[in-house]
Amino acid sequence: MVTSPKLEAYGWGERWTPGFREVASSWPDAQPGRVVRHDGSAVLAVTVDGALEHLHVPPGADPPPVVGDWVALDRSAQVVVAVVPRHSLLRRQDPGTGGEQPLVANVDVVFVVCGLDRPVKPGRIERSVTLAWDAGATPVVVLTKADLVADPERRAETVRRGGPGIDVILTSATTGDGLGEVRRRCHDSTVVLLGESGAGKSTMTNALAGGDVAATGVVRGGDSKGRHTTTARHLYPLPSGGVLVDTPGLRAVGLSVDLDAVAATFADVEATAAGCRFDDCRHDREPGCAVIEAVATGALATERWENWTGLLREAEAAERRADEHERRQHERRSGRGAREAQRRKRQGR
Ligand SMILES: Nc1nc2c(ncn2[C@@H]2O[C@H](COP(=O)(O)OP(=O)(O)OP(=O)(O)O)[C@@H](O)[C@H]2O)c(=O)[nH]1
Ligand SMILES: [Mg+2]
Ligand SMILES: [Zn+2]
């Protein structure tokens, strides 16, 4: 096994060696590394001796490496030769193409970061939590700027009640409150910060990394909107253990997820829905719908019911798109196969 204390600070360990050996088998000189930033046709990666190097990614690399990926690299040629099989992948719907956009690979925990200097939006938290479950990671809600509000505990309690089963950590980068808990959650893990511009992701990154590694920006006075200070995803090792990925504030969190991820986020609502009279209940106006019943009695908040059905429809649409894509790929492949066969026949082979 390849050991390297410098690489271990970036999360390297036995977990990754079989995958590395597998993809590097035809490259005797290949060394492991981890992508810390993506720069167009190159990546910035940390290497076995801890140096950060720009490496070329050959066009057509499959899959194209993303931040968080472990890769096999050829240092003399300064090129990425292969991507180690991923354990998890954070992805969203590409706002441009409607397809799937991979964001960060090999993620263990997603911090859903919300600033208390603005209203906390349950719908946005549920969306990000769903992305985390979809990735194969554990979501944790991190509320920042506790120093700016009079009743932070009450605000945290509201978020806890709104998203049952998910840990909520209250923090302030100004006073340092809650940062010990955040550090503990990062230990031995790769953690991604997801949240609106101005939520305080880069400020938290600096507090945990113990220096000004990431640029931060002020928010607008009127509506607390951020200025999109961070422009690229970047992975940092933490002196207290673990790895943190700072990300730009996402304008749109479109889902490209399977239905199981929505079910995990709304486990409480799904449990209620098990009591619906019809198996294919749309929880809309069907007779005997246990969900509508729960909304009527106040056991289930109207907003949570609406967010749930909204995300269900969105995930269904994403699955239909993926199926359609798969079908077209298949047709293209089999079309190509048929043409090949015809050509061989013409050539008398
Ligand atoms: N009072 C207070 N201000 C904070 C805290 N955390 C962040 N801020 C301020 O919030 C503003 C935005 O912080 P950033 O860390 O740049 O936010 P970001 O989430 O990285 O934003 P983008 O990079 O644009 O996505 C800065 O002015 C920070 O000083 C906190 O805990 N308390
Ligand atoms: Mg930032
Ligand atoms: Zn129902």
218 within ligand 1 shell (Cβ under 6 A): yes
Residues 70 and 94 in one domain: no
List Cβ neighbours of 311 (8 Å cut-off, separation of 6 or more): 126, 127, 130, 255, 262, 265, 266
* Total number of domains constituting the chain: 3
206 within ligand 1 shell (Cβ under 6 A): no
Residues 93 and 116 in one domain: yes
* pLDDT value of position 144: 98
CATH of the domain at 170: 3.40.50.300
CATH of the domain at 287: 1.10.40.50
Ligand nearest to the CA of 175: 1
Residues 11 and 125 in one domain: no
Q: Beta-carbon neighbour count of residue 25 at 10 Å?
A: 11
* pLDDT value of position 260: 87
* pLDDT value of position 6: 92
Residues 39 and 115 in one domain: no
Q: What is the dihedral of CA 134, 135, 137, 139, to 10 degrees?
A: -60
208 within ligand 1 shell (Cβ under 6 A): no
Instruction: Tell me whether residue 318 is in a domain.
Output: yes
Instruction: Tell me whether residue 120 is in a domain.
Output: yes
- Closest ligand 1 atom to residue 226 Cα is 24
Residues of the chain with pLDDT under 70: 1-2, 221-224, 252, 257, 333-349
Residue for token pair 């043409």: 339
Residues 225 and 201 in one domain: yes
* pLDDT value of position 343: 59
Say if residues 124 and 150 touch (Cβ distance below 8 Å).
no
174 within ligand 1 shell (Cβ under 6 A): yes
Six-digit token string for 236 = 């940092």
Instruction: Tell me whether residue 331 is in a domain.
Output: no
How far lies 222's CA from each of 118, 151, 219, 225, 229, in Å?
10, 21, 9, 8, 18
Distance between Cα 265 and ligand 2 center (Å):
26
Residues 106 and 216 in one domain: yes
Residues 69 and 138 in one domain: no
Instruction: Tell me whether residue 345 is in a domain.
Output: no
Handedness of CA 99, 103, 104, 107 (dihedral sign): negative
Instruction: Tell me whether residue 338 is in a domain.
Output: no
The whole-angstrom separation of Cα 171 and Cα 36 is 26
Residues 139 and 30 in one domain: no
Residues 222 and 94 in one domain: yes
Distance between Cα 56 and ligand 1 center (Å):
33
- Closest ligand 1 atom to residue 206 Cα is 15
* pLDDT value of position 19: 96
Sequence letter at residue 288: G
- Closest ligand 1 atom to residue 195 Cα is 19
Residues 235 and 98 in one domain: yes
pLDDT in tens, 99-119: 788 999 999 999 999 999 999
Residues 210 and 93 in one domain: yes
Residues 231 and 280 in one domain: no
249 within ligand 1 shell (Cβ under 6 A): yes
Mutate to test the pocket of ligand 1, among 172, 204, 216 (most ligand atoms within 8 A of CB): 216
| Domain end residue (candidates: 83, 107, 134) | 83
* pLDDT value of position 2: 67
User: Domain residues for 137?
Assistant: 89-246
- The pTM of this model reads 0.87
Instruction: Tell me whether residue 139 is in a domain.
Output: yes
Instruction: Tell me whether residue 232 is in a domain.
Output: yes
CATH of the domain at 64: 2.40.50.140
* pLDDT value of position 344: 58
- Closest ligand 1 atom to residue 144 Cα is 31
| Domain end residue (candidates: 246, 278, 295) | 246
Instruction: Tell me whether residue 163 is in a domain.
Output: yes
